[in-house]
Amino acid sequence: MGNYFQPEIECASQEQIRAWQDERLVKQVRRVYENVPYYRKKMEEKGVTPDNIRSTADLHKLPFLTKDDLRDAYPYGLLATPLKDCVRIQSTSGTTGRRVVAFYTQHDIDLWDECCARAIVAAGGTKDDVVHVCYGYGLFTGGPGLNGGSHKLGSLTLPMSSGNTERQIQFMCDLGSTILCCTPSYAAYLAESIYERGVRDQIKLKAGIFGAEAWTEEMRQDIQDKLGIKAYDIYGLTEISGPGVSFECSEQTGMHINEDHFIAEIIDPNTGEVLPEGEKGELVFTSITKEAFPLLRYRTRDICVLSRKKCSCGRTHVKMSKPMGRSDDMLIIKGVNVFPSQIETVLMNKGYPANYQIIVTRENNSDQLEVQVEMTPELFSDSVSEISKKEKDLINALKAMLGIYAKVTLVAPKTITRSEGKAVRVIDKRNLYQS
């Protein structure tokens, strides 16, 4: 109780939240209509003008945006401010076709930082804390987001970035990190490493803010027990801003969406119909305060449930469940977005057959990606070093495309199951989504 960064916003009445949303939505729609020809055309095709949008009740009239739109409008097509007013770009990994490039004005960065600061405070953070950020820094939003939030709050920020576990633990011990921010799988790995080194009593961690990939309650329990901390989930996507679109509070029963900035809807992924509160469907976001890159009705492809049940933490903003699945085939591996089609493109370019299988596992809380491909007469050689060379070439090409390492396994021809109709390309053994 009582841990708020902006109590007047985070605990505002439903009426107040609605009033902010109504006012900001109307303004935002007009701005986008006037400044983003790409979206204006979409609105015109649907026969909607800014005059038709008078409150959030009219939101459903607006056309959706999808990842395909981001591709079509790449790179500047959805920009709503002159480029000279932008101060930052963040991006997701992936190919040109799938890459998301988002723009930020200084105001956008300030609001994003505030969202992340709310998340840190909800996890018990104050300006007296030492916030240890080992999300990646750079184009990835994880590092910059939590870093900005920690600055905004006035905490001492350790911009560790990812990797170099030895150094991470050294800093934690020496500088007394109290709040850890990283992916849940890295947190689990760190927990194990700390345990193995027998330095558990030298660390001062009290909380962790873990996001960018799906994790289960079991994993949360495991991390909490091993590190002796409370582990909080955080959600976000580059398209909408980055981490901090929603965050968990002490109740740990879902993530409060920052509704003063983002309007959330749940739709039926097949029909696009808005579903009543409490029903499971695809999460859709509308950015009502973003200046540079304000996406309206952006389909996240994450399947979840919204709830307005009163929360014991005192916050009034709607809560979303952990994502329960995807309405597309995107995989999140080691926090990185991976589409099977990206893997297929690489295989085709390198002369491998279209028959392949992607196997994702989680070993010791760390994601492993394996791509099984069938050997072909053209690729086969009597020399193992020749084959290994080609295999290595494929691994490098996959790494360049996906940004992560994939183990390549060459299998005998016709051993990957051919299915009638839709091929089963992905076997995800992680069971990340609890239904």
Partner 1 sequence: MTIEQISIFVENKAGGLSQVTKTLADHQIDLRTLSIAETPDFGVLRAIVNDPGKTAAILTEAGYICKITPVLAVAIDDRPGGLHKVLQLLADNGINLEYTYAFVTRASDTAYMVVRVADNQKAIQVLTESGIPLVNAKDLFAL
Residues that bind partner 1 (CB under 8 A): 375-377, 380-385, 387-388, 409-415
Q: Do residues 74 and 101 lie in contact, with contact meaning Cβ atoms separated by under 8 Å? A: yes
Supply the minimum distance, in Å, between the C-beta of residue 387 and partner 1.
Answer: 7
Q: Smallest distance, Å, CB 358 to partner 1?
A: 16
Contact between 95 and 86 under an 8 Å Cβ cutoff? The reply is no
Question: From the CB of 378, what's the least distance to partner 1, in Å?
Answer: 10
Q: Judging by beta carbons within 10 Å of its beta carbon (0-12, 13-18, 19+), is residue 387 exposed, middle or buried? A: middle
Q: What is the DSSP letter of 243?
A: E
Residue 214 per-residue DSSP state: -
Q: Write out the two tokens for 78.
A: 């959805």
Closer by beta carbon to partner 1, 288 or else 416 = 416
**Min separation Cβ 343 and partner 1, Å:** 18
In the complex, least distance from residue 362 CB atom to partner 1, rounded to whole angstroms: 21
Q: Which two tokens stand for residue 195?
A: 């345990």
For residues 106 and 388, which CB has a smaller minimum distance to partner 1 in the complex? 388
Closest CA to 114 of 18, 213, 7, 205: 7
Distances 256 to 56, 234, 302, 335 between C-alpha atoms, Å: 19, 9, 16, 21
Closest distance to partner 1 from the beta carbon of 336 (Å): 24
Written as six digits, the tokens of 214 are 């799906």
Query: Which token pair is 375?
Result: 């050997």
| Between 383 and 435, CB nearer to partner 1 | 383
Cβ distance to partner 1 smaller for residue 214 or 416: 416
Q: Which is nearer to partner 1, 108 or 374 (CB)?
A: 374
Residue for token pair 């840190």: 120
Q: In the structure encoding, which two tokens stand for residue 138, read together?
A: 């750079």
Bridge partners, residue 238, by sequence: none
> Smallest gap, in angstroms, from Cβ of residue 415 to partner 1?
7
Give the CA-trace dihedral at 172, 176, 180, 185, to 10 degrees: 30
Q: Is the CB of 9 or the CB of 416 nearer to partner 1?
A: 416
CB of 411 to partner 1, least distance (A): 6
Q: What is the DSSP string of 283-312?
A: EEEEESS-SSS--SSEEEEEEE-EE-PPPT
CB of 425 to partner 1, least distance (A): 20
Smallest CA-to-CA distance from 318 within 333, 329, 307, 305 is with: 307
Q: How far is the CB of 368 from partner 1 (least distance, A)?
A: 14
**In terms of CB distance, is 387 or 404 closer to partner 1?**
387
**In the beta sheet, which residues pair with residue 428?**
360
Query: What are the distances in angstroms from CA 39 to CA 66, 85, 196, 297?
Result: 12, 20, 54, 11
253/372 with CB nearer partner 1: 372
Our CB check for partner 1 shows the closer of 2 and 377 to be: 377
Angle CA(14)–CA(281)–CA(59) in degrees, nearest 5? 50
CA 430 to chain centre: 18
Closest to partner 1 by CB, 305 or 408: 408
| Short-list 152, 150, 159, CA closest to 129 | 150
